[in-house]
Amino acid sequence: MATTAPDSRGDCLQIFRGTFIHSTDTSPLEILESRIVAVNKLGKIVFIEPADKEEELSQKWHFKREKIRKLCPREEFFMPGLIDTHIHAPQYPNMGCCLDLPLLQWLIKYTFPVEARFKDLKFAEDVYTKVVKKTLRNGTTTACYFATIHTESCLKLCDIIDKFGQRAFVGKVCMDMNDVCTEYRETTSESVKETERFVAELVKRKYPLVKPIVTPRFAISCTPGLMKQLGSFANANNLHIQSHISESRAEIAAVKKMFPKCKNYSDVYDVHSLLNDKTIMAHAVYLSDEELELFQRKGAGISHCPNSNTSLCSGLMDVRNALNHKINVGLGTDVSGGYSPSILDAVRRATDVSNILSLNTADYQKLSHEEVFRLATLGGSKALGLEKVTGNFEVGKDFDAVLVNTGVPGSPFEVFHEDTLQAIFQKFLFLGDDRNMTEIYVAGKQVFPCPTA
């Protein structure tokens, strides 16, 4: 139990009474009915108690009972904010189109050209404002963004994220090897120097929720010299690392050709000091058991991006196998390889992929919707090393939360009298959308509806 601190006096608390739905290590879906949750001025949860202790709590914490925000039973509940562990903010203009080619051709024809436009700061500001507003509106309280090679527009993205109040990692993309789009390439020394400048500038801004992440794009677009220097820089400064791994068969073949001395794709990152407990790798569709064991030993996380993997026909990732290897797995939209900005969509696509995998393997243990919900929240926080801060409702964690209302006008699904809370929640996961998300909080601050939006 937290003790009363100056920031936790009753008049400084936000207090909610109602149903809270989240995941824990031991339970993928825990429904906490009739609870009172208090959040202090710092945005941290100070207690979660049964509602029948309301009077006792009001005396202990010195708050007036009329101050309590009461949720409508059955119609409203809080769930943790959703966590997008892999999204390319500059690809947002292409979201929902340009999906007719496999990964490597798709990069050349559509993706490098749109990313090259981010040297224009005005263009960057317009797109980045839209993507941050859109993801927040869809309940993404934490996002792990790839930006582009352009330091100034990367910093602009950080400014916008801070302004709208999202929690995020932002990576200045590094790539010094790319023959197809000369406009979109750096020298090795530029790439390292600009990464250092980006990190220094972002740290100077002292944004409480926006942190840098070292971002070699992927092994194909980075020389060994660049990867080595980025690995050293990240390790020396205790920074997070993100990249892509084992997304498509053609990509894996290219990596094999370029790094013949490495045992496998994971080994390429490992020998360049890029695989550790602060690393998150997107896709991991074709990792062997040997590679998964390496991930587990190193503590590296995986971002599963099912919409992207099916839209670009990259492959079907076996999340169950990764979980069996005790790896932290979160969900990613991978906009714009994935065509939806919503982690609820990722929940549905991840369920589909798991169901499809079960068709070919006898006794395959499919992911339940409860487990996929855990990937979208607590799993994502662990994959990003943020589990002490966000991911579920626990005393001491930040209050990152979405207020869901199943009874809003135009709700995309119906609730019937006989529906249990479990059924209502499943309907929301499979059928709900931003219309049902009536309030969104990050670190205790309401970011939607937002007066500055």
**Per-residue contact flags (x/-) with Zn ion for residues 32 to 51, judged by CB under 5 A:** --------------------
> Measured at the alpha carbon of residue 325, what is the angle toward residues 324 and 331, in degrees to the nearest 5?
80
Q: Which of 334, 371, 387, 398 binds Zn ion (CB under 5 A)?
A: 334
* Token pair belonging to 142: 């934490």
Task: Compute the least distance from the CB of residue 305 to Zn ion, in Å.
Answer: 7
Q: How many residues bind Zn ion (CB under 5 A)?
A: 2
The CA-CA-CA angle for residues 41, 46, 50, to 5°, reads 130
Q: Considering beta carbons, is residue 282 or 350 the nearer one to Zn ion?
A: 282
Burial of 204 (0-12, 13-18, 19+ CB in 10 A): exposed
Between residues 301 and 432, which has the closer beta carbon with respect to Zn ion?
Answer: 301
Question: Which H helix or E strand runs over 144?
Answer: strand 140-146
Q: What is the dihedral of CA 56, 59, 60, 66, to 10 degrees?
A: 90
Q: How far apart are CA 202 and CA 432, in angstroms?
A: 36
For residue 410, the minimal CB distance to Zn ion (Å) is: 33
Six-digit token string for 338:
């994935």
Residue 160 or 305 having the CB closest to Zn ion: 305
Dihedral sign from CA coordinates of 379, 129, 447, 429: negative
Considering only residues 258 to 287 of the shown chain, the ones binding Zn ion according to CB under 5 A are 282
Q: Are 155 and 202 in contact (CB under 8 A)?
A: yes
Looking at the Cβ atoms of 88 and 427, the one nearer to Zn ion is 88
Q: Tell me the CA distances in angstroms from 387 to 64, 249, 383, 393, one per residue in order.
A: 32, 33, 8, 11
Nearest residue to Zn ion by CB is: 334
Closest to 398 measured CA to CA, from 46, 138, 50, 67? 46
Strands (E) across 376-436 are located at 401-405
The region of 109-117, 292-300, 328-336, 355-363 touching Zn ion under the rule CB under 5 A is 328-336
Q: Detail the DSSP E strand segments found in 270-327.
A: 279-283, 301-304
Phi first, then psi, for residue 161 (nearest 5°) are -60, -45
Of 19 and 85, the one with the shorter C-beta distance to Zn ion is 85
Give yes or no for residue 251 binding Zn ion (CB under 5 A): no
Q: How far apart are CA 36 and CA 41, in angstroms?
A: 17
Window contacting Zn ion (CB under 5 A); options: 60-68, 285-293, 332-340, 411-419: 332-340
Q: What kind and span of H or E run contains 258? A: helix 249-258
Q: Of the two residues 78 and 218, which places its CB atom closer to Zn ion in the complex?
A: 218
Q: Which stretch binds Zn ion (CB under 5 A): 4-12, 168-176, 333-341, 402-410?
A: 333-341
Nearer to Zn ion, 168 or 429 (CB): 168
145 or 164, CB closer to Zn ion?
145
Tokens 């579920």 sit on residue: 392
Positions 414 through 453 that interact with Zn ion (CB under 5 A): none
Nearer CB in complex with Zn ion: 89/294:
89
Residues that bind Zn ion (CB under 5 A): 282, 334
